[in-house]
């Protein structure tokens, strides 16, 4: 199955839907997730199985990438069905192909970085400019690590000796001195441009960490942090689900603090389990995963878009705003699924070959937030403050400027206010915004101020909260604000807490536009709702 990525937009905003393609037959490659206790025993048996070739294995995720050799879709279908019945297998999903689509030419002469002014970056830099030990992984089309504004900010794997042909640090990758290319399977994650890729990864990297005060080009939002280039999309904009999962795990195991993911797809959650599991592994190491909400102008509350809709505590889902703090028509949104807004229209940044230019999209809004998280992490490290992944999301929401863009906080990020919150140990409700169904419960806590804390709800009839434990019980549809009070009597409110059923895709209707692809998925996963209803 082929589907499209969250691609950037240039000077003209042309909606790029995230849809499954109809030009691909039965998938030849599949990702098999083995049960952890069976992985080491099962993989060798697959290597000798008739009709199946094992192309690659991924020990961290207990995954195997296999190829079904049969040219007849019916025979391949039967084989996959048989594999799904094995007791040692947790799930099988198609190795979906991913694409970044062609964009229109931009204006390379525009040099004003309005986004930095909007989020008060220069004021924040008086406090914090980021530290070299704070690492942001850019998982994308690669990064031009020789660019004049990026070369001094590229992450270096100090445990690896360059060009000796040995895996010195025993991480499974030889000579990975500056990241890895999972598309070409080598140690050169250079951004390769084409008609479909103007330099997407390089542009994102510049938004995050282009070097400041060096008399050339621009400045990233976190000009002193390190950029870890990880490539899994090729010059034609294509990659796949399997290598995306491997790329996330590489960032996790090699010291990334933040992952910037300006890509995604509108597919059912079950189809992207390898990525979701990799994000959860990142969360276990307190790594924040910043994801683009997508660029087709739809609500993610009524449409599944991943990884943005992952819903994990360590995931920040980002919508785009323009220079008037409005939502561009192409940006996705959603009260329940999109956390906040960030400047993403006409963003000036680095492009391969020491060039610069404007791109637009949630793809651009996302690295700006990733860079902000890196600044906050650097500040927390300087203060030796212990903050969890979800705390950074709460701080960005609580400190954001109010805007009329439909996100969880109805806010646009302001890095100066956010850094001040960390510096001042400001009392903050965590999570700071949320949506939950009636009768559901959610535990809130507080950071900053002075413990112990007590909680109250603005409307107990809608949602009541235990003042001591912070456990909130939703009762009926509506909206409440929570107030936390610390030991010194300081009060602080949350953003809106919404009580109401999250709107799902219409029951019985396939969310994909191609009926053939829906029918194919029903063959593989007949339990899907539209399969049961014949939709």
Give the Cα separation of 408 and 418 in Å (integer): 17
The predicted pLDDT at position 29 comes to 87
pLDDT in tens, 25-47: 456 788 999 999 999 998 988 88
Q: Which residue has the tokens 């109809």?
A: 22
Considering the domain architecture, whether residues 188 and 331 belong to the same structural domain is answered as yes
Q: Which domain holds residue 512?
A: 505-535
Type and span of the H or E element at 230:
strand 226-231
Share of the chain above pLDDT 90, in %: 71
Active site residue 163: no
For position 440, which CATH number holds?
A: 2.60.40.1080
* Mean pLDDT (whole number) for 222-231: 97
Distant-in-sequence, close-in-space partners of 54: CB < 8 Å, separation ≥ 6: 43, 46, 47, 64, 65, 66
Q: Return the structure tokens found at 521.
A: 């998925």
More confident: 435 or 103? 435
**Cα separation of 112 and 324, whole Å?**
15
Residue 251 in any domain: the answer is yes
Residue 509 confidence (pLDDT): 52
- Does 23 reside within a domain? no
Q: How far is CA 62 from CA 76, 88, 245, 246, 364, in A?
A: 23, 11, 11, 11, 33
pLDDT band at 4 (very low <50, low <70, confident <90, very high): very low
Mean pLDDT within 264-287: 94
Q: What is the DSSP letter of 224?
A: T
Domain contains 43: no
Does residue 392 sit within a domain?
A: yes
To the nearest 10°, report the CA torsion of 483, 486, 490, 496: -20
Annotated active-site residue in 140, 149, 175, 240: 140
Note whether 438 and 473 are within 8 A (CB). Answer: no
Q: What phi-psi label fits residue 329: left (phi over 0), alpha (psi between -120 and 50 degrees) or beta?
A: alpha
Residue ranges in 271-353 assigned as alpha helix (H): 273-284
323 and 436 fall within a common domain? no
Which of the pair, 472 or 104, is modelled with greater confidence?
472
Count of other CB atoms within 10 angstroms of residue 42: 18
pLDDT band at 14 (very low <50, low <70, confident <90, very high): very low
pLDDT at 76 over 60: yes
At residue 523, the pLDDT reads: 42
Question: How many Cα atoms are found within 13 Å in the side-chain-facing hemisphere of 202?
Answer: 27
Q: Which two tokens stand for residue 13?
A: 């905003």
| 357 and 448, same domain (yes or no) | no
Q: Which of 363, 399, 457, 494 is catalytic?
A: 363
- Structure-block tokens of residue 456: 């109250």
| 45-58 confidence digits (pLDDT tens) | 888 888 888 999 99
pTM attached to this predicted model: 0.86
| Distance of alpha carbon 212 from alpha carbon 224, whole angstroms | 8
Closest Cα to residue 327, out of 403, 398, 433, 262?
403
- Kindly give the pairing relationship between strand 315-321 and strand 340-343: parallel
Task: Kindly state the average pLDDT of the residues 460-486.
Answer: 97
- State whether 467 and 436 are in the same domain: yes
Q: Which residues pair with 261 in a beta bridge?
A: 291
Tell me the per-residue pLDDT of 295-341, one tens digit each, with 9 for 90 and over.
989 999 999 999 999 999 999 999 999 999 999 999 999 999 999 99
Whether residue 250 sits in one domain with residue 350: yes
Whether the CB-CB separation of 332 and 297 falls below 8 Å is answered with yes
- The answer to whether residues 395 and 521 belong to one domain is no
pLDDT at 108: 37
Confidence band of 283 (pLDDT split at 50, 70, 90): very high
Q: Is 381 helix (H, G, I), strand (E, B) or coil?
A: helix
312 in a domain, yes or no?
yes
In a domain, 226, yes or no: yes
In whole angstroms, what is the distance from residue 290 CA to residue 305 CA? 14
Contact 484, 427 (CB under 8 A): yes
pLDDT at position 457: 98
Rounded CA separation 259/281 (Å): 12
The one catalytic residue among 200, 203, 417, 498: 200
Res 13 pLDDT > 50 = no
Question: Same structural domain for residues 384 and 468?
Answer: no
Is 221 inside a domain boundary? Answer: yes
In the block, tokens 């870890």 appear at 228
Round to whole Å and give the CA distance between 60 and 248: 11
Mean local confidence (pLDDT), 217-224 = 95
pLDDT of 110: 38
Q: With contact defined as beta carbons under 8 Å apart, do 262 and 200 qualify? A: yes
Q: What is the CATH number of the domain that holds 379?
A: 3.40.50.200
> CA 122: distance to chain centroid?
26
As a whole number, mean pLDDT of residues 252-276 equals 93
Is 363 an annotated catalytic residue? yes
The pLDDT mean for the chain works out to 86
Asked if residue 66 is part of any domain, the answer here is no
State how far the Cα of 287 lies from the Cα of 497, in Å rounded to an integer. 25
Q: How many domains does the chain have?
A: 3
> Is 77 a known active-site residue?
no
Identify the residue whose tokens are 């090699």. Answer: 254
Label the pairing between strands 63-68 and 52-58: antiparallel
**74 has a pLDDT exceeding 90:** no
**Which residue stretches of 194-352 are H helix?**
200-209, 241-253, 273-284
- Percent of the chain predicted with pLDDT > 70: 84
The alpha carbon dihedral of 503, 506, 508, 510 has a sign of negative
The 3-state DSSP class for residue 415 equals helix
Find the length of the chain. 535
- 495 shares its domain with 510: no
Tokens encoding 311: 């819903």
- To the nearest 10 degrees (0 to 180), the angle between helices 389-399 and 362-382 is 110
Mean pLDDT of the 86-115 span? 65
Measured CA to CA, the distance from residue 222 to residue 214 in angstroms comes to 14
Residue 231 pairs in a beta bridge with 140, 181
Residues 192 and 286 in one domain: yes
User: Comparing C-alpha atoms, which of 1, 13, 9 is closest to residue 262?
Assistant: 9
Q: Are residues 406 and 433 in the same domain?
A: no
Which residue stretches of 191-342 are H helix? Answer: 200-209, 241-253, 273-284
305: CB partners within 8 A, 6+ apart: 18, 264, 265, 266, 293, 294, 332, 337
Residue linked to tokens 């100090």: 158
Are residues 408 and 439 part of one domain? no
Q: Is the peptide bond before 452 cis (omega within 30 degrees of 0)?
A: yes
**Same domain membership, residue 198 and residue 127:** yes
């Amino acid at each position: 199955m082929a589907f499209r990525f969250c691609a950037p937009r240039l000077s003209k905003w042309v909606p790029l839907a995230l849809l499954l393609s109809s030009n691909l037959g039965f998938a030849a490659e599949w990702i098999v997730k083995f049960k952890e206790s069976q992985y080491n025993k099962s993989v060798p048996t697959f290597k000798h199985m008739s009709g199946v070739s094992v192309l690659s294995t991924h020990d961290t995720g207990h995954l195997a990438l296999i190829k079904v050799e049969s040219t007849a879709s019916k025979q391949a279908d039967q084989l996959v069905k048989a594999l799904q019945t094995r007791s040692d297998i947790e799930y099988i999903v198609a190795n979906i192909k991913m694409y970044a689509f062609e964009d229109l030419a931009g204006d390379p002469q525009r040099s004003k970085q309005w986004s930095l002014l909007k989020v008060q970056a220069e004021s924040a830099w008086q406090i914090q400019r980021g530290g070299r030990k704070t690492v942001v992984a850019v998982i994308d089309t690669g990064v031009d690590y020789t660019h004049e504004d990026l070369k001094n900010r590229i992450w270096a794997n100090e445990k690896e000796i360059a060009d000796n042909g040995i895996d010195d640090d025993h991480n499974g990758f030889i000579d990975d001195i500056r990241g890895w290319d999972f598309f070409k399977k080598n140690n050169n994650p250079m951004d390769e441009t084409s008609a479909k890729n103007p330099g997407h990864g390089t542009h994102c990297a510049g938004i995050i960490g282009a070097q400041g005060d060096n008399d050339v080009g621009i400045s990233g939002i976190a000009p002193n942090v390190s950029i870890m280039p990880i490539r899994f999309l090729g010059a034609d904009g294509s990659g796949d689900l399997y290598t995306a999962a491997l790329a996330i795990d590489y960032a996790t195991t090699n010291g990334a603090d933040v992952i910037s993911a300006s890509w995604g797809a509108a597919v059912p959650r079950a189809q992207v389990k390898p990525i979701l599991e990799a994000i959860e592994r990142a969360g276990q190491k307190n790594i924040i995963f910043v994801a683009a909400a997508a660029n087709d102008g739809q609500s993610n509350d009524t449409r599944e878009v991943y990884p943005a809709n992952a819903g994990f505590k360590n995931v920040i889902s980002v919508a785009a705003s323009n220079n008037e703090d409005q939502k561009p028509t192409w940006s996705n949104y959603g009260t329940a699924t999109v956390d906040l807004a960030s400047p993403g229209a006409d963003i000036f940044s680095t492009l391969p070959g020491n060039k610069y230019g404007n791109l637009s999209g949630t793809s651009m809004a996302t690295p700006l937030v990733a860079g902000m998280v890196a600044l906050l992490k650097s500040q927390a490290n300087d203060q030796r403050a212990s903050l969890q992944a979800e705390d950074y999301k709460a701080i960005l929401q609580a400190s954001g400027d109010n805007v009329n863009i439909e996100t969880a906080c109805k806010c646009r990020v302001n890095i100066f206010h956010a850094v001040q919150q960390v510096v001042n140990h400001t009392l903050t409700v965590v999570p700071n915004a949320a949506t939950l169904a009636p009768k559901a419960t959610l535990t809130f806590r507080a950071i900053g101020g002075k413990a112990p804390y007590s909680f109250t709800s603005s409307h107990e009839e809608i949602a009541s909260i235990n003042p001591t434990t912070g456990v909130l019980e939703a009762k009926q549809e509506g909206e409440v604000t929570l107030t936390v009070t610390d030991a010194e009597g300081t009060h602080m409110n949350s953003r809106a807490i919404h009580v109401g059923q999250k709107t799902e895709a219409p029951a019985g209707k396939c969310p994909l536009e191609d009926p053939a692809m829906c029918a194919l998925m029903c063959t593989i996963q007949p339990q899907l709702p539209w399969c049961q209803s014949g939709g």
